Amino acid sequence: MGKQGLSLGRDDIVQLKEAYKWITHPLFSEELGVPVDGKSLFEVSVIFAHPETDEDCHFLSTSCPDCFKPAKNKQSVFTRMAVVKALDKIKEEDFRKKFPCPPNSPKSFCSAVEIECAHGAVFVAGRYNKYSRNLPQTPWIIDGERKLESSVEELISSQLLTVFKAESFNFSSSGREDVDVRTLGNGRPFAVELVNPRRVQFTSRDIKELQQKINISSDKIQVRDLQLVTREAIGHMKEGEEVKTKTYSALVWTDKAIQKKDIEFLDDLKDLQINQKTPLRVLHRRPLAIRTRIIHTMETHYIDEHHFRLHLKTQAGTYIKEFVHGDFGRTKPNIGSLMDGTADILELDVESVDVDWPPALND
């Protein structure tokens, strides 16, 4: 091209897919009776085949062998990205030697072999309460064997999947509770990504009815503040993981007989700093480390000689069970060491997750 006096930059060359859009968009608009929106979440994917020119780019593999590496989910190494990468690396004179410029006119038409319609993901958020001490947050499967019949994730997402007519979903939340821990108060924030939904138009009334449907389906969970959100908004749920606070209620047992006065000193401890080595019970899925956490406040309620209720406000990420029983000395200090005895936790409830998202809705 240089010899012909043409100086074209990358931005001057129109990609074939863009030219195809220019031709087809007006046709789609006229046929369907709707305007074309280039930023729409609804996508139509068309795959063309043209056997005559299938091997036109194969010469690039000798110029850039590193660009064309087999991938498990790709039928051919000559993907669009690989070809673009190779074209960036090949010299113009080498390209001209291997490929005619301008290219030869094709003798046959291409054919559309696959047309697929898909919709971009839709996101639903809310807060859930968990009232069962025998329900995991996500499916509990060990070595391919399901341990419990359901989970918070499934009880919520199965209803959404059906109503939105989506292919699949991805569940996320602001932290998680153990299978035997209840989540009370205003609940725990969660979000569900619904992949390729067939239905996307919902009124606020529709969403409210969907929330009621979820709540009627099980007595183990309840959902509130259910609403449609954007992908970007979900970032608010994950913001401040280390600075947000959580409030808990624990039923504590002590080996020594106690009186009310024996536990009152705990009420006076403020912003207690503790060091927690990764608990034994999660060591199989968490790296070994020592994490410093803050117990902001504690409030005790005496029950009897061996039991008291402990309300705690802590830094997010604190292992509450281990703070009570000490985890064989891996959490220091702990309730047992502070009381100069042995303590254990019998019940634990999450009373609040202090994340101001998603926005509360009026019933």
178 is catalytic: yes
141-142 vs 145-146, strand pairing mode? antiparallel
Distance CA 64, CA 49 (A): 24
Instruction: Yes or no: say if 113 and 48 are a contact pair by the CB < 8 Å rule.
Output: yes
Local structure of 72: helix, strand or coil: coil
CA 150 to chain CA centroid, Å, is: 19
Q: C-alpha distances in angstroms, 197 versus 41, 131, 214?
A: 10, 30, 18
Query: Which is it for the CA torsion 251, 257, 260, 262, positive or negative?
Result: negative
Distance CA 77, CA 84 (A): 12
Instruction: Yes or no: say if 249 and 348 are a contact pair by the CB < 8 Å rule.
Output: yes
Q: Which residue, 63, 64, 166, 170, is CA-closest to 125?
A: 170
88 — phi, psi (to 5°)?
Answer: -70, -25
Helix axes 204-217, 152-164, angle to 10 degrees: 140
122-130 vs 221-229, strand pairing mode? antiparallel
Instruction: Yes or no: say if 45 and 116 are a contact pair by the CB < 8 Å rule.
Output: yes
Instruction: Yes or no: say if 219 and 131 are a contact pair by the CB < 8 Å rule.
Output: yes
Q: Which residue, 39, 18, 348, is CA-closest to 177?
A: 348
Single out the catalytic residue among 94, 178, 344, 354.
178
Distance CA 352, CA 317 (A): 14
Question: Cα angle vertex 181, ends 180, 182, to 5°?
Answer: 125
Q: Which residues are catalytic?
A: 178
